[in-house]
Amino acid sequence: MKLKSLSINNFRAYKKETKIDFDELTTIIGKNDIGKSTVLEALEIFFNNQTVKIEQEDSNVYLTSGTVEIICEFEDLPIEISIDTSSPTTLKDEFLVSKDNTLIIKKVFDCSKKTPTVEIYVVALHPTNSEVSNLLELKEKELQSIIKSKSLDSKLKGNPTMRKAIWESVSDLELKQVDIPISKQKEDAKRIWEQIDLHIPIFALFQSDRSSNDSDTEVQDPMKAAIEMAISEVKEDIKKIQDKVREKAEEIANDTHKALETIDKNLASKLEPKFTPPTPAKWKGLFSIKMDTDDGIPLNKRGSGVRRMILVSFFKAEAERRLKSTSKRNIIYALEEPETAQHPNNQKILIESFKSLANESDCQIILTTHSPGLASELPVNSLRFINKDESTGDLKIEKGLHIFSKVAETLGVTPDSRVKALICVEGPTDVIALGYLSKYINSKHPEIPDFQVDDRVAFVLMGGSTLKHWVNNNYLRGLGKPEFHLYDNDVATYQNSIDEVNARPDNSFGTLTQKLEIESYLHSDAIKNAFDIDIIIPDNLNADGKAVPKIFAEAYSLKAGLPNTIRDGKAKQYLADRAFQEMTIEMIEERDRTGEVKGWFEKINELIK
């Protein structure tokens, strides 16, 4: 399951219910002490209640109610759940989804008590007709009794099947969105919650104000997350160990009982072991990992910046491992102020790692920052801005185009005065692709700029942007900077836009790709090196009418054993991040015998000068 949104009510500074939406990569921005960390800690309390625990003081000090609500909404729900092996069911069939077919779980904490207690609800569009509103609470015999009273098929077996038949027999279920108490229920309501709990994402929080010793939780948590994942994948082996221990314990108990009988039969007529297997939490507690670096130097003896960079490798390694595994659980990495103790160059490395990690299967990244450098490099659709309503004092979490100027003003993001020309492309993957292509062409033709390091150009994404690109576009367009426009050759109307650019009197220049799109310039060997996948790269569409991203998406999904083909957008991102990186000057020249790509960069070089 994927986290879609969080709502918090009466929690610390959030007096009223406040909602924040999440994507694969979400960045929470705001001033110090505005409530960024509160969002992450609310998630930690919801998922784990360990690194940060709910406390009596967590309810808002200005409200008399001691009740705190933390609500998480999930999408990409499991196809089915099994509470009865003879009749699997779905959350939708059990009326446990919202009107938007999402799963909403509400945890209500009573902070009026010294040690807060929690009640768990599923907020769902559920039958409220008194005749059938409580079917999840009924035992098998009670359901059979209703089946009989309604003269339904007496051969129906399995509680889910009987519930479905009963609900279908009612003309008006009176569906309403209600809170269904589920954590302390009995019968199938309890079993359904146990099944839901198996699919809830793993959440790992890394806080900015913790030291980075290899024994500290900031370093141990990613290792603990990996240990938790490993344990979840060897449950069958653990069960075998527990069964073996149980068997041996019973054998020893029986032998001891026989020996006792030879001493005095009246001492005990029976000696029976009561075996209690370790809980999953105790299994996880058995393991810990310490880390040594170069020359045996312990991690906790390295600089704080190095220690934090090593954390990123933990995240990336775990995502890549998960990509190859069969685990279906999502994992959410939440990082407070990852720029802490990092050189600006390292911040850029971190950003690219986060972007790449967020594109991995079943993985989400949530960041907080008030660093202009970090924020300026992030995709604008990832930004969430926390601001205070001065009239009411309430906190607001906003997203969308209207927040960019607020973010830029709050963080001090300004346009780069070194920019001499603008490169206008369709999307972020085009920026990555052109960066690698220019780098490799520069290796043979030094006069061609390497866009990965050249500060004289700024990319403007016509279909989206990072905050930095938006700011540059917003301000630099009024400075008379020449523009180079490059669009894919897959939309007929793009030629009209190119003609308009070329008609300008400011030396701006535009062109369409001669091949279908930027991915059409990839070499099959680059994809082979990056993904160990063999595909044929057409210049346009292949015989089946498919472009490169679709061809790659199908081959990648088949190799990875994914149930569904990844979307073209994700395929483009994979190709941009990894396949273009594997290109060489020789591959470029083989795929572009007319020198078209080199010609783009020569024209941009003219505009710069």
Checking if the pLDDT of 218 tops 50, the result is no
pLDDT score recorded for residue 213: 47
Q: 47 lies in which domain range?
A: 2-200
Which H or E run contains 449?
none
Of 153, 180, 200, the residue that ends a domain is 200
Give the C-alpha separation, 170 to 163, whole Å.
Answer: 11
Of 200, 216, 247, the residue that ends a domain is 200
Checking if the pLDDT of 211 tops 50, the result is no
Residue 350 lies in a domain: no
Higher confidence at residue 597 or residue 217? 597
Higher confidence at residue 325 or residue 85? 85
pLDDT score recorded for residue 210: 46
Percentage of the chain beyond pLDDT 90 is 40
Residue 415 lies in a domain: no
pLDDT score recorded for residue 146: 93
Residue 181 lies in a domain: yes
Residue 207 lies in a domain: no
Of 200, 218, 247, the residue that ends a domain is 200
In this prediction, residue 326 has a pLDDT band, given cuts at 50, 70 and 90, of very low
pLDDT score recorded for residue 280: 66
Task: Give Cα 4 to chain centroid, integer Å.
Answer: 9
In this prediction, residue 401 has a pLDDT band, given cuts at 50, 70 and 90, of low
In this structure, what token pair is assigned to residue 161?
């099947």
Give the C-alpha separation, 63 to 51, whole Å.
Answer: 26
Q: Rounded to 5 degrees, what are φ and ψ at 405?
A: -65, -35
Higher confidence at residue 433 or residue 235? 433
Averaged pLDDT for residues 86-112: 92
Higher confidence at residue 370 or residue 279? 370
User: What are the Cα distances from residue 472, in Å, to 254, 588, 600, 605?
Assistant: 79, 30, 22, 19
pLDDT score recorded for residue 51: 81
Residue 332 lies in a domain: no
Checking if the pLDDT of 489 tops 80, the result is yes
What does the DSSP 8-state code read for residue 600? Answer: H
Averaged pLDDT for residues 434-459: 91
Checking if the pLDDT of 47 tops 70, the result is yes
pTM, entire model: 0.67
Domain count, the chain: 2
Q: Which residues of 396-428 are buried (b: 16+ CB within 10 A; e: fewer)?
A: ebebeeebbeebbebbebebeeebbbbbbbbbb
Higher confidence at residue 379 or residue 561? 561
Residue 179 lies in a domain: yes
Averaged pLDDT for residues 364-378: 80
- Among 287, 299, 583, residue whose Cα is nearest residue 440: 583
pLDDT score recorded for residue 85: 65
Residue 253 lies in a domain: no
User: What are the Cα distances from residue 133, in Å, to 94, 137, 146?
Assistant: 11, 9, 13
Residue 513 lies in a domain: yes
In this structure, what token pair is assigned to residue 465?
């942007």
Which H or E run contains 59?
none
C-alpha triplet 472, 478, 481: angle, nearest 5°: 70
SS3 labels along 338-353: CCCCCCHHHHHHHHHH
Give the C-alpha separation, 351 to 360, whole Å.
Answer: 15
pLDDT score recorded for residue 319: 47
Checking if the pLDDT of 61 tops 90, the result is no
Which tens digit of pLDDT belongs to each residue from 536-581? 999 999 999 999 999 999 999 999 888 788 888 889 989 998 999 9
Which tens digit of pLDDT belongs to each residue from 280-303? 667 777 776 666 666 666 655 666
Which tens digit of pLDDT belongs to each residue from 131-160? 999 898 888 899 999 999 999 988 888 889
Higher confidence at residue 326 or residue 46? 46
pLDDT score recorded for residue 225: 59
Which tens digit of pLDDT belongs to each residue from 7-36? 999 999 999 999 999 999 999 998 888 889
In this prediction, residue 54 has a pLDDT band, given cuts at 50, 70 and 90, of very high
Residues 6+ apart with CB under 8 A from 603: 484, 509
Q: Which string of DSSP letters, residue by residue, matches 209-222?
A: TS---TTSHHHHHH
pLDDT score recorded for residue 405: 72
In this prediction, residue 527 has a pLDDT band, given cuts at 50, 70 and 90, of very high
User: What are the Cα distances from residue 287, in Å, to 210, 282, 283, 290?
Assistant: 21, 9, 8, 10
Task: Give Cα 601 to chain centroid, integer Å.
Answer: 36
Q: Rounded to 5 degrees, what are φ and ψ at 530?
A: -80, -35
Which H or E run contains 177?
strand 175-181
